[in-house]
Amino acid sequence: MVIDHDVRVRSRGWLLLGAGVLVVALVAGTFGWATWAAKTYESDFDRWDSEERRHVNGSVRIPISAYGYWYPIGDQELKEQAGGCDEVRALRPALVAATGKMPRVTNLPVDWLGPAYGKAVDRDHRRARIVKSFSDAATSVLKQMERDCAFDGKVLRLESLSGVQWDKADKLALPASSPLCGDKEGCIPYDAARRRKYASALVKANDHQRSVESLFRTDDCGRTSFGAACEDVADAMDRWIDAQGAYNWQVRALTATTSGFAVNKAGNRADRAYRKFEKTLRRILPKQYPGVEDVTDFKDDPTSTDAFLSAVTSLRVEKLHDARTALRKL
């Protein structure tokens, strides 16, 4: 059978025409899809920007109750501090949830078919890079905040117990207004029974402080912002606690008087030991985290775990300033 040459040509022409129509349809469809995808992406991003971005930016904050720096530390303060730590632990999941909702545009090689799509892809890449940069930096800060807050809570609970005993000793002390006392902070009780209770309160306060020292020798401390300085802090605290213990022993040994060379000497040593404790921490902790020496709370009381961790946390959050600024400019 012989097929007419003209028939073959006409068939090939129809095939070429069909292919051409299909290509045009694909190009037009792709162009339309690209334009629609770009518009949808920008609309979705605007929605995320108004509803979720503030959660990303606000995820790194320091709940006031997490580092309260309150004295005296009572049950209510401890409850508030624990609540603050709960808030801190909730910040990282909130950051992950908010960043996970950020819309992305499907990246296909069709820029030449849709200028709007190409621009959307470029903006998407830039936005994703900025959000990831902030998220990575913020996650690191939040993880450290969680460790610091938990450790601070443990210290505060023990110091609250110590504080109860110090308050008890203060109430038992001979008031400064007494003609038998010449110290503005009060004196050792004159009554023997009262003096024994006074000494017992001091001993118990010191025992709780010794428990605080033990916390600084744990792995938990090493994971906090104290880091490698934990042992040095514990050693400095140990010297002060030993000196205070020697004074307490002298108070318990008193019989007919409320003073004497030995007890006065021990008291002076305890005071000097505490001042040296402060001086040591002023020297070693800024080496662990430079800049902390300029924070008011730390300057006021370098021996306060709460003050140091609060100061360091504030400095870490401040370092996110540039990443936060970039996030606000998306």
pLDDT in tens, the chain (330 residues): 444 545 444 455 544 444 444 444 455 455 666 778 888 898 999 999 988 888 888 888 888 888 876 677 888 889 999 999 999 999 999 999 999 999 998 776 655 556 788 888 888 999 999 999 999 999 999 999 999 999 999 999 999 999 999 999 999 988 878 877 777 777 888 888 888 899 999 999 999 999 999 999 999 999 999 999 999 999 999 999 999 999 999 888 886 665 677 888 888 999 999 999 999 999 999 999 999 999 998 999 999 999 999 999 999 999 999 998 898 888
Query: For residues 243 and 202, what is the distance between their CA atoms, to the nearest angstrom?
Result: 12
- Bridge partners (DSSP) of residue 187 are 174
Q: What is the DSSP letter of 104?
A: -
Beta-bridge partner residues of 174? 187
Residue 187 backbone dihedrals phi, psi, to 5 degrees: -130, 170
Paired tokens of 17:
């025409």
Residue 41: inside a domain, yes or no?
no
Residue 223 maps to a domain: yes
Write down the pLDDT at residue 298. 93
Residue 19 lies in a domain: no
φ, ψ dihedrals at 254, nearest 5°: -65, 145
Residue 227 placed within a domain? yes
Q: What is the dihedral of CA 237, 239, 243, 246, to 10 degrees?
A: 110
The answer to whether residue 34 sits within a structural domain is: no
Containing 140, the helix (H) or strand (E) segment is: helix 115-172
Helix (H) or strand (E) segment spanning residue 329: none
Contact (CB, 8 A) for 90 and 75:
no
| Inter-CA distances, 28 with 31, 112, 328, Å | 5, 12, 37
Length of the chain: 330
**Direct distance between the N- and C-terminal alpha carbons of the chain, in angstroms, rounded to an integer:** 71
As a whole number of Å, the CA-based R_g of the chain is 34
| Gap between the Cα atoms of 101 and 142, Å rounded | 20
Inter-CA distances, 119 with 38, 99, 101, 107, Å = 8, 22, 21, 11
Q: What residues make up the domain containing 308?
A: 51-328
Sign of the CA dihedral with 254 first, then 255, 257, and 262 last? negative
36 part of a folded domain: no
- Phi/psi at 323 (5° precision): -65, -35
**CA–CA dist 209, 106 (Å, integer):** 60
Domain count for the chain: 1
